[in-house]
Amino acid sequence: MAENLKADQKTQLALDLGHAMHELRMLIRHFIQTKIKEHNIDITFEMLEVMSVLWKRDGRNQQEIADLTLRDKSSMTYLIDNLVKRKLVKRVEDEKDRRNKLIFLTEDGNRVKEQLYPWVTEEYIKATATLRLEDLQSSVNVLKEMIDNLKKVEV
Amino acid sequence: MAENLKADQKTQLALDLGHAMHELRMLIRHFIQTKIKEHNIDITFEMLEVMSVLWKRDGRNQQEIADLTLRDKSSMTYLIDNLVKRKLVKRVEDEKDRRNKLIFLTEDGNRVKEQLYPWVTEEYIKATATLRLEDLQSSVNVLKEMIDNLKKVEV
DNA sequence: TAAAAATGGTTTGAATTTAAACTATTAAGT
DNA sequence: ACTTAATAGTTTAAATTCAAACCATTTTTA
């Protein structure tokens, strides 16, 4: 009985956690979208997530970017198409493995980093201003443990 | 300097947290979708999120459901349309305030709860199996504090 | 080495999303 | 009461999502 009660409490907490996670993500998305709109920049939050991965290192293939941004590879085809149209990235066929299309930033793509990147982190800085590093770290650990638990079970 | 370093670390942790949050949500979504598909049920994860809110209490208006499920009210029009088509809910105009459309579960809508609701919690139980209640609680607190910080700033 | 399996990308189709403009209704302020 | 503001819902348009089926290209394996 005591065990069941505890399990219920944990489930409820996990549901709360899920809701809070989603809310947090939507808040940040909304903030970034507003910033982008205010400055009349022709890019979406989703494209920005792809750009963020490339700013760290470009020349990745589409599947790799899809994995990093937690998207289906077919969404990635579409998103990269849109970024190519806006001349922010270019596709280059991999000579060593012709299945791969490597994605590189253009000059424009590098340039917008200076403008957009600060906004991406600004919100996170605000969000964590009142928090202690250790508490943040342990929250990350908790979420990662939950992810591990789910992945283990699925095998 | 030490302060800057700490801020950078916190930002990085917050980014990690954001990523973990999203990954967790996608894992759970994928699990539920698979379950639904296996049992040939004509419903989507998004519709299920709406149903979850109604199982707690129905007779809410669309805006209220939109707020609870963190969606735009126009998405809600669409989702409710699809749930009405499947005869899982019905729209009833509020007599006291004719702007409101109150959403009620049908018999079918109540019936599928027995089948679907356990799946919604099953994943959360698995995810949190190895975790302590206190750690889960403090993670929820951290996320809620982040949400508060963002909402405060936006005013 | 030939067949089978795995991998990367695209296409397709249906569902969903947001933002913005819009209508209808109610509430508030003067 | 009258005008204005706020609220609920719908519509529209464009972007995005996932899943599944599909091609092309490697890699594995028998």
CB < 8 Å to B26, chain A? 70
Residue pointed to by tokens 């702007």: B99
Which candidate in A45, A49, A72, A140 is best for mutational testing of the B interface (most B CBs within 10 A)? A140
pLDDT in tens, B89-105: 999 999 999 999 999 99
Residue B99 CA neighbour count, 13 Å, CB half = 2
Q: Does A74 touch chain B (CB under 8 A)?
A: no
Q: Which of residues 4-43 of B touch strand D (CB under 7 A)?
A: 26, 30, 33, 37
Are B128 and A11 in contact, with CB atoms under 8 Å apart? Answer: yes
Q: Three-state SS for B90?
A: strand
Which 78-107 residues of chain B approach strand D with CB closer than 7 Å?
78, 80, 91, 97, 99-102
8 Å CB contact between A94 and A61? yes
**Distance in Å, residue A52 CA to nucleotide D16 C1':** 18
Distance between B83 CA and the closest CA of chain A, angstroms: 22
What was the pLDDT predicted at A155? 40
Low-confidence ranges of chain A (pLDDT < 50): 154-155
- Angle among Cα B85, A23, B126 to the nearest 5 degrees reads 80
Q: Are B39 and B54 in contact (CB under 8 A)?
A: no
- The reply to whether A37 Cβ lies less than 7 angstroms from strand C is yes
**Contacts of A2 by beta carbon, 8 Å cutoff, 6+ apart:** none
The sign of the torsion formed by the CA atoms of A48, A145, B25, A59 equals positive
Q: What are the tens digits of pLDDT across the range A62-93?
A: 999 999 999 999 999 999 999 999 999 999 99
Task: Write the CB contacts of B50 (distance below 8 Å, at least 6 apart in sequence).
Answer: B65, B69, B76, B79, B80, B83, B89
Residue B91 pairs in a beta bridge with B103
pLDDT given for residue B106 in this prediction: 95
What phi and psi, each to the nearest 5 degrees, are found at residue A123?
-65, -40
Chain B residues within 8 A of A147 when measuring between CB atoms: 20, 23-24, 27, 127
Q: Extract the runs of DSSP E, i.e. beta strands, from chain A.
A: 60-61, 89-93, 101-105
Q: Which sign, positive or negative, has the C-alpha torsion A34, A39, A43, A48?
A: negative
**Nucleic strand C contact set for A 49-88 (CB, < 7 Å):** 61-64, 66, 73-74, 76-78, 80
Low-confidence ranges of chain B (pLDDT < 50): 154-155
User: Which tokens hold the place of B110?
Assistant: 């109540």
pLDDT tens digits for range A95-105: 999 999 999 99
Please tell me the distance from the alpha carbon of residue B89 to that of residue B80, in angstroms, as a whole number: 8
Does nucleic acid strand D have an atom less than 7 angstroms from the CB of A44? yes
Residue B101 confidence (pLDDT): 95
How far is it, in rounded angstroms, from Cα A63 to Cα A56? 16
Residues of B in contact with A128 (CB under 8 A): 10-11, 13-14, 146, 149
The alpha-carbon gap from A15 to the nearest alpha carbon of chain B, in Å, equals 7
Amino acid at B140: V
Residue B114 neighbours by CB distance under 10 Å:
8
